[in-house]
Structure 1
Amino acid sequence: MYYTFSEIIFRMGIFTVSPVQFPAKVPSSYLSVGPLIFFVAFLPALTCYFCIGSTLILQRDIISNYSLSNCPHVKSALPPISYSIGVWEPQKFVWIIALMLHLPSRLLFTMTIPQIYLPGLGQYILYTSGTIEALGLICVSVFNVDSIIGFHAHAGFFVIWWAAAMVSMGIIIHLQRLIGHNHSSSYVLRMWRLKIGIMATFFAASAGCSIFYPISQNYCSVTAFTIFCLCEYSVVGLNAAYWGVYLSEFGRLYDGFEITAVKLDKSTSDEPGTRPKSQSGSQILEISR
């Protein structure tokens, strides 16, 4: 007896669909904190340093032809970050890929971390500054120094990112002091003091960028431009270090994020995934301890 191909597939049970009640279960997923911390805190900085290092090692011709904007006869031995991640290729594409991996995790933490603190002005400031910091990084990357809106707009977006980062750092330190969290253990106290030190160094390095860049352009000073580049590299690393310290503390308290769909019109049900009527809105994200 011979069977057709479709009959063989049918008899083997391939593509057989069994009827089940819809929905079979509440759709949900679990995101571990560890990988998210890497994507938020360290991936942008590591990618930035990779782009700089690969340019220095593999593209010496680019560096040898790079000169200061206002001093075309003055060459620089160090590439600025803006060109390394925003103009030169293939570094530009590596940075864009890293940014695409970074932003979803960053937005997730931006939405949830302020909920650790009691509702109030501090929580609102932290949420706002974190959102602006993420948007500022996007604008700095998209509107690079060679974009249609020019260098000054790129510099303006960098200032926005820097200011938002400073506010985020400061408000976290202030809120931890305000609620007494910094004295909850010796470890937390050390980390709180470390965050203060990183923030102060971040501010000093940022001040160095704003001082030495105009000096390098006005006086055609290679030394001033080199110091500017080193300060710029430091700003990136210090920002990553701050968020790495703070999110590591977060990881000591929470295992991950549980994202669950919330059913509609099930206010009286005790099923998983339903929301009581007294809780308005549609929150779908919970922090799992």
Structure 2
Amino acid sequence: TDRGRQSQFLPIRVLGFIAICIPTITVYLCIISTFFTHSDKIDYSLNRSYRNCPQIKSILAPVSYSIASWEPQRQLWALIVIVCLPARVVLMMMIPRVWWESSWRFGFYASSSLEMIGLVLLSLFHDQSKIYYYLHFASFGWWWMATLCVMAIVVYMQQATGLIDNDPCIYRLWLVKIAIFCAFVLGSCTISLSYPLASTFCSLIAFTIFCLGEYTLIALNAVFWALLIFEFSREFEGFQVLPVRAIRKMTSDTKPEISVVALP
């Protein structure tokens, strides 16, 4: 039909690839490319952040330097965030609809929104000034807490709604998500301790652990979301997008009213 030709089908897994896989791949591309394009700036930037520790020389750069400080990585990451966030918003709005408790759905919406806002803010603010420096760390803490809340809500709701009792595959993936959640908590504690230890004791080992911990947290968060989207795609194939147009109607007093209807 004309309506079928005018509509557009968006597969869940394609949206998931755009929302999760592309940003994750881009982050690691930025990190790896930093070793080749800005190897001479890593030590200089570390000396700015660790002014009392000039002896810290590392080939590893924190994620924030790779995506928020240097070009062209900064521009590439900003472009990917702009392109991929809409797909993330669509998935965030649809996934909790299978849950029966509205309060937990709202909690998921709020936590996911805060996670995205934190990601955008920590990408915008870095070490250009002391204010940006503190904003960056506040945004990272914001993103971290929101991510923990998202994981905890998903794990709890899948158990509370009985989804894990009806499908062995969902149950196995639920156990994997619990393991990812525990690993995320452990990794968060590790980087929370290693960063101040690196700056206080000028420890290269602590700084290396901090960088590797950041890389690991990104991977854990991406895998968690990928599993969640995979489960959702087993129940729903995708979204059907229908175009709409405005039709002007005239009332008896000739005042126009606008209503939006789907095209036939």
Give the match for residue 54 of structure 2: 73
1:96 to 1:148, Cα distance in 2 relative to 1, 3 A: farther
Say how many residue pairs are matched: 245
- 1:158 and 2:158 correspond: no
Alpha-carbon distance, 1:149 to partner: 3.0
Residue deviations 1:231-260, cap 9 Å, x none?
011011100010011111111111111223
Distance 1:145 1:206 in 2: 21
Comparing both structures, which one devotes a greater share of its residues to helix? 2
Give aligned-pair identity as a percent. 33
The residue aligned with 1:97 is 79
Q: Aligned-pair distance for 1:185?
A: 1.6
Trace 1:135-154 onto structure 2 (pairs within 5 A).
135-146=117-128, 149-154=131-136
Computing the radius of gyration from Cα coordinates, the structure with the larger value is: 1
Deviation per CA, 1:132-160: give whole Å up to 9, x if none: 11111111111223267321111001111
**Which residue of structure 2 lines up, in the alignment, with residue 204 of structure 1?**
186
Listed as ranges, the matches of 1:1-289 within 5 Å are: 28-68=7-47, 69-70=49-50, 71-74=52-55, 75-146=57-128, 149-261=131-243, 273=262
Gaps of 5+ in 1: 1-23, 266-271, 275-289
Offset at 1:176? 0.6
Q: Does structure 1 retain, via aligned residues, the 8 Å contact 2:60–2:208?
A: yes
Deviation at 1:29, TM superposition (A): 2.7
The verdict on how the C-alpha distance between 1:72 and 1:220 changes in structure 2, with shifts beyond 3 A counting, is: closer
Q: Distance in 2 between matches of 1:225 and 1:148?
A: 21
Q: Quick one: which amino acid aligns to residue 62 of structure 1?
A: K
Retained in 1: the 8 A contact 2:163–2:170? Answer: yes
Alpha-carbon contact 2:13-2:229 (below 8 Å) kept: no
Distance 2:187 2:155 in 1: 19
Q: Distance in 2 between matches of 1:223 and 1:124?
A: 41
Other-structure match for 1:284: none
Q: Which moved more, 1:159-168 or 1:52-61?
A: 52-61
Assess if the C-alpha contact under 8 Å between 1:66 and 1:76 holds in 2. Answer: no
CA contact (8 A) 1:82 1:145 kept: no
Partner of 1:10: none
For 1:107, what is the secondary structure of its paired residue?
helix
CA RMSD of aligned residues (A): 2.1
Aligned to 1:5: none
